[in-house]
Chains A and B, each alone.
Chain A
Amino acid sequence: MKAGTLYLDGVSVVFDGFRALNSLSLVIEPGELRAIIGPNGAGKTTMMDIITGKTRPTAGTVQFGDHDLTRMDEAAIAELGIGRKFQKPTVFDALTVFENLELALKAPRDPWSCLRWVLPPAARRRIEATLAEIGLADRAGARAAILSHGQRQWLEIGMLLMQEPQLLLVDEPVAGMTDQETEHTAALLRRIAGQRSVVVVEHDLEFVRALGEKVTVLCEGAVLSEGSIDRVQNDPRVIEVYLGR
C-alpha cells in the first residue's frame, strides 16, 4: 500500500450491543483534505478513536500505509505520524505558546533526552515559522491560559504541525468560533493540507464549503455518500437523513 494512505475496510465497533461503526470503509489519499459530516451518533468520533488507537475495532482493517493500526497503541500511532486535534482544545495552560509548540516538536521523547534537551537553532526557526503560520507570532511568550478560544484551537493545530504528521485528524475545529475565526481556520487547514493529509470532522456546512474539498457523509456508522459538497447536498439519501431535517 502507498505510504501515507489511510485505509479503513469493513470496520465495525460494537459497544454493549450498540453498533457505533457498521462496516465502515474509507480511503484517504496522501495530501488529501477531506471533510467528514454526519448527524450526531453517525460514528464520526468513534472513527477518529479507531484511527488513533483509543478504541479497538470489533472487526475490520485499519491501515496507514503498511502499518496495521489495530495492533499499535496510541503513542506508537502518534509516533507514526497521525496527529489528532480534539473537539475541546487541550493546550497546556501553565506553559507559554512557544513552550507548547516546543513540547510538540519532533524530538526524542524519553525522560533523559528531555532533561538534556537544548533547543537547536533550526528547531527554534521551525517553531517561529509555525507561530507565523497559525497567526500567533505575537503571542509566543503568553501563557496558553490567557488565549482566546480561537487562538487555543490554532495553537493546538500548530502543536500537531510541529509533530510533522502525515495525517491530521481535526475534530470540529470551528465550534464556538466567530465568523472571522472560522474563515481564518478554513484558510489555515487548506494551507496545511497538501504536504500532509487532513481529515476534518465538522457540523458547520458553510465551513465545509469554504474548505472546498471532497466530503464524506457518515450515517449510522457507515458511509452514506461521498463527493463534492454540492453533490452530497443534492443526494436524496443525505437530504433525508441529515440535511433535510
Chain B
Amino acid sequence: MSATTAETPRLRPTRALILRGLLLAGLLILALLPLLNRLPPDHALHASDFIVSVSGKWMCYAMLALAIDLAWGYAGILSLGHGAFFALGGYAIGMHLMRLIGPRGVYGHPVLPDFMVFLGWTELPWYWWGFQFFPFALLMALAVPGLLAGLLGWLAFRSRITGVYLSIITQAMTYALMLAFFRNDMGFGGNNGFTDFKELLGMKLNTAGARAALFYAALLSLSGAVLLCRHLTRSKLGRVLVAVRDAESRVRFLGYSTVSVKLSVFVLSAMLAGLGGALYVPLVGIINPGEFSPGNSIEAVIWVAVGGRGTLVGALLGAFSVNAVKTWLTSFAPDLWLFALGGLFVAVTLFLPRGLIGLMRKGEER
C-alpha cells in the first residue's frame, strides 16, 4: 500500500490518456469550425454553414447531457424531465430577445412583444419586468430551473421518493409545463413561442459574426461545464454521490444528509441544463412549448445511456453521436428516427449497459 492509493485511477493510464486526447481533439475541432467555415467553399477543409450550426446545437445538447449525467450517472437521480430545465433556460433568454425586438415588431409596439399586442394586452405582465437587461435574463436562465429543481427535489428527496417514482414525477413536471406554456394567457407566446429575434448584446443575430460568437459562447460554456463537473465528480462530494447512487441508506447512516447532497447536485444539474437552453435559443432562433415535450427529456437520457453514464466523456460522446445519427437519418428517412432511437435504447440496455465508453473499459473491472 502506498500513500497514493486513494487516487488510484479506475482506468489504465493509457486509456485514460486516449479518452482525454479524444476529448481535447474534439474540443479543438469544434474550436476550429467557425474558422474553417471562412475558407472558400471549394477548399478541402471548408466547414459548411450547416456543420457549424448543427455543431453549435449539439454543444447545447451536450450541456444537457452533462447535466443529466451528473444527476443520473453519479447521484442515481434519473430525471425524465430535464428538458424542462433546458426549455426554461431557453425561455428566459427568449424573453430577453423578445424585449430587444422593441418597435421592430410587426405591430411596432415600443414595449410589448407582438403576441401580446395580438392578444389585446396593454401592459407588460410583471414577470416580464427586468428581462430587457441581459444579465438579469441570464441570471433567470439559471435561477428559474435551479429554483424549480430545488422545490421539486426538496419535496421528493425529503419524502424519500426515489427511482421510478421520481422519474415519473419529473415526466409529469415537464408535461405540465408544456401544457401551461401552450396556453396563450400564460404570457409566453402560447403555441408559437418566441421567434423572429433581431439582436443580442448589440450583435445582429443573422450575421456570420454573431453566429460565430454564439458558437464560441457555447463552446466556452461547455468546456467550463465539463471542468466544473470534473472538479465536482473527482472531489469527495463526487464519491458521496456515487455512494448515494449505490446505497443511499448506508450513506445516511454514515451521517450525511442525503437530502442536501442530492438536492445540491439536482439544482446544479438543472442550472447546467438551463444554461444549455439559454445558449440554444439564440443559436436556433426559436423557442416554443414543444421543447417541454416529455419525449425530448427521454431522448436526452438516451444520449447519456448510449455514451455511458457515470463518465463525463460518455455524456458528451452520447450527445454528439446520437444527434449526428439523428441528423443523418432524418435527412432521408425522418419517420424512422423514433424506431431507431427506441432500438438504440434497447440495444444499449441489452448489450452495452455502460454505453460506448464501456467498450473502452471492458476487462478493466479489477
Contact = CB atoms under 8 A, between A and B. Distances in A.
Contacts of B133: none
Contacts of B232: 115
A74 B239 contact: no
A117 B236 CA distance: 6
Given A78-B253, A92-B243, A141-B1, A114 B6 contact: no
Contact of B254 (A115, A116, A141, A163): A163
Given A143-B365, A159-B254, 13 more contacts: A75-B257, A96-B6, A103-B251, A103-B254, A104-B254, A110-B257, A111-B265, A114-B237, A119-B6, A140-B6, A143-B366, A145-B365, A163-B254
Chain B: interface residue count, which band? 20 to 34
Interface residues of A, number: 41
B345 to A, nearest CB: 23
A111 B264 contact: yes
Contact of A117 (B5, B237, B261, B365): B237
A103 B239 contact: yes
A11 B5 CA distance: 46
A94 B354 CA distance: 14
Contact of A146 (B240, B253, B260, B366): B366
Interface string A89-106: 011111110110011100
Nearest to B253: A78
Nearest to A109: B256
Contact of A131 (B1, B243, B246): B1
14 contacts: A78-B252, A78-B254, A86-B250, A90-B247, A92-B239, A92-B242, A92-B243, A96-B5, A103-B243, A104-B254, A111-B240, A111-B264, A115-B235, A124-B3
A56 interface: no
B235 A114 contact: yes
B240 A103 contact: yes
A177 to B, nearest CB: 20
Contacts of B5: 96, 98, 140-141
Contacts of A128: 1
B8 interface: yes
Given A74-B253, A96-B6, A141-B5, A102 B236 contact: yes
A91 B232 CA distance: 22
A244 to B, nearest CB: 36
B202 interface: no
A114 B236 contact: yes
B255 interface: yes
Nearest to B237: A114
A111 B246 contact: no
A131 B237 CA distance: 22
A222 B207 CA distance: 82
Interface of B: 1, 3, 5-6, 8, 231-232, 235-237, 239-240, 242-243, 245-247, 249-257, 260-261, 264-265, 365-366
B24 to A, nearest CB: 25
Contacts of A109: 254-257
A140 B250 CA distance: 20
B252 A75 contact: yes
Given A114-B235, A141-B1, A92 B253 contact: no
A110 B237 CA distance: 9
Contact of A116 (B235, B249, B365): B235
A114 B240 contact: yes
B253 A84 contact: yes
Q: Which of B231, B235, B236, B252: most chain A Cβ within 10 A? A: B236
B260 A138 contact: no
B6 A98 contact: yes
A66 interface: no
B69 to A, nearest CB: 15
B227 to A, nearest CB: 14
Given A74-B252, A90-B247, A124-B3, A102 B239 contact: yes
B72 to A, nearest CB: 14
A93 B246 contact: yes
Contacts of A146: 366
Contacts of B242: 92, 94-95
Contact of B255 (A91, A141, A163): A163
A59 interface: no
